[in-house]
Amino acid sequence: MICAIIPTYNNAATLADVIRRTARYISDIIVVVDGSTDNTRSVLQSLDVPVVVVYYPQNKGKGHALKAGFEKAKELGFTHALTIDSDGQHYPEDIPALLSVSKQQPLCFVVGSRNLKAQNMPGRNTFANKFSNFWFTVQTGMRLPDTQTGMRIYPLERLHGLALLTSRYEAELELLVFAAWAGEKIVPVQIRVYYPSQEERISHFRPAYDFTRISILNTILCFFALVYGLPRRWWRSMLYGPWFIFCWLVGVIVTCFALLFRVSDRTYRKLFHYGASVLMHTFPASPFHVKRTPNAVPSTQPAIFIANHTSVFDILAAVTVHDNLSIISQHWVFSNPFFAPVARRAHFLSAAKGYECIVDQMRAEVEKGASVLIFPEGGRSINGTVHRFHRGAFYLAEQLHLPIQPMLIEGTFHVMSKGEVFIGKANIRLTLTDPIYPDDKAWGETYQDVAVNVRKMYEQQLTHY
């Protein structure tokens, strides 16, 4: 369950419009009145949209307002909260973009990313944002394009740092820093921003006072980063990383012996399958579970296996379910020093020139008893959501007259997403759903229609609230 939290301080002119537009996407709204002295009360009383209001008479700052909103949301039983400023800076019409990510990755902190070069963006705001982004990277080892945006989705049970070193607007930076130290996944989503002209703008930013306070906060956070935050992240990776590296080294040794003794593709794939199974089922960071529906394609029957793709761990997870998979991968894999030896020895194939060029090769593999593994998105999803499915897998299934066996993989995004250097912790689940047979027209008349409808199924199955 998700609610919207709108903290407000003397923004009566824009508050009603923000609430009405937000209510189109989220029906439960909590407004935190942070000691407003304008006509905010009368605006709320005249609203035609039901809201829960938290009042307190004295202005205590945005950080305090957010904390009060989170406490109220938890009290009302919500699991997630979207925050949005009441000054009209954000477009509530961008809420679906954040919701889409949060519904498929409910444990993530989803953070709006504004265009910091937007029209009428005040120069001091741009400097403050860049200043904040720089220190966030120093303190966490992570990069975010916008650490001060007020439009975010928080998973309420995974909030950290609610003691809050500051009660003002920079508390939003503090919440992200503590989340990063705890190993939470923070996902940026592009949003729009509106800044009115200088004459129309209402700002509570006090340059000298606020920059001094931000500098003091960053000094404190940098100290804690050195003695607590960064060591905690590195220690977690040191606990999980060596086992992953050990298994990779074993794989390299096995690959060398396979080349030396010229073992068959079939034998090497079986070794790859057993090695991946050992790694995934013993990896200390992440319990791994496989679920098969009763109608799933048996391992003795060739099929086109397809899976969503958010992490390098997806390949290892997928290989555990079948000991003879011919994998179609991106071309860069064959030049990567970590993956190329395995890819070449396991006879991975590249579809860089189009699936039409590898149909005959795939047919030969299938005739030898192999199944095919394809990631229809074509690459790893950056934000953990299901991206557009390319049609190659479905074209191949049509040409080879093979069933499509969907695999839904969850949790690997939190273990290691694209561009991550730290290894996280999560439960990994792989689900084999009911297969799609070539003559089943319920998914569409053409393979193009099937691609679109199967992607929709993935999106629905991976939506959690």
How far apart CA 78 and CA 186 sit, in angstroms, is: 20
Count CA atoms closer than 13 A to 74's CA, side-chain side: 12
431 has which bridge partners?
291, 408
Q: Which of 129, 208, 210, 201 is nearest to 168 (CA)?
A: 210
At 198 the pLDDT is 54
At 8 the pLDDT is 95
Residues 6+ apart with CB under 8 A from 13: 202
At 234 the pLDDT is 76
Q: Class of 2-231 per CATH? A: alpha beta
Using the Cα atoms of residue 219, residue 223, residue 228 and residue 230 in order, give the sign of their dihedral.
positive
Residues 6+ apart with CB under 8 A from 259: 345
How far apart CA 465 and CA 387 sit, in angstroms, is: 19
At 266 the pLDDT is 83
Q: Which of 107, 125, 108 is nearest to 116 (CA)?
A: 125
Report the phi/psi class of residue 129: left, alpha or beta, with left for phi > 0 and alpha for psi in -120 to 50.
Answer: alpha
Per-residue pLDDT of the chain (465 residues; tens, 9 = 90+): 999 999 999 999 999 999 999 999 999 999 999 999 999 999 999 999 999 999 999 999 899 999 999 999 999 999 999 999 999 989 999 999 999 999 999 999 999 998 766 555 555 566 677 778 888 999 998 889 898 889 999 999 999 877 766 777 778 888 999 999 988 999 999 999 887 655 555 555 556 666 677 778 888 888 888 888 888 877 766 666 677 777 777 777 877 877 777 888 788 888 888 888 988 888 877 899 999 999 999 888 999 999 999 998 899 999 999 999 988 887 777 777 777 777 777 778 888 788 888 899 899 989 988 999 999 998 888 899 999 999 999 999 999 999 999 999 999 999 888 877 777 788 999 999 999 998 888 999 899 999 999 999 999 999 888
CA 428, distance to chain mean position in Å, is 14
How far apart CA 125 and CA 127 sit, in angstroms, is: 5
Tokens of 274: 């057993």
CATH number for the domain running over 263-461: 3.40.1130.10
Spell out the domain ranges in the chain.
Answer: 2-231, 263-461
Contacts 24+ apart (CB under 8 A), 18-21: 18/84, 18/85, 18/86, 18/87, 18/88, 18/90, 18/92, 19/47, 19/49, 19/51, 20/47, 20/48, 20/49, 21/92, 21/93
Tokens of 73: 């949301």
Q: Are 173 and 147 in contact (CB under 8 A)?
A: yes
At 118 the pLDDT is 58
Q: Are 311 and 417 in contact (CB under 8 A)?
A: yes
How far apart CA 107 and CA 47 sit, in angstroms, is: 33
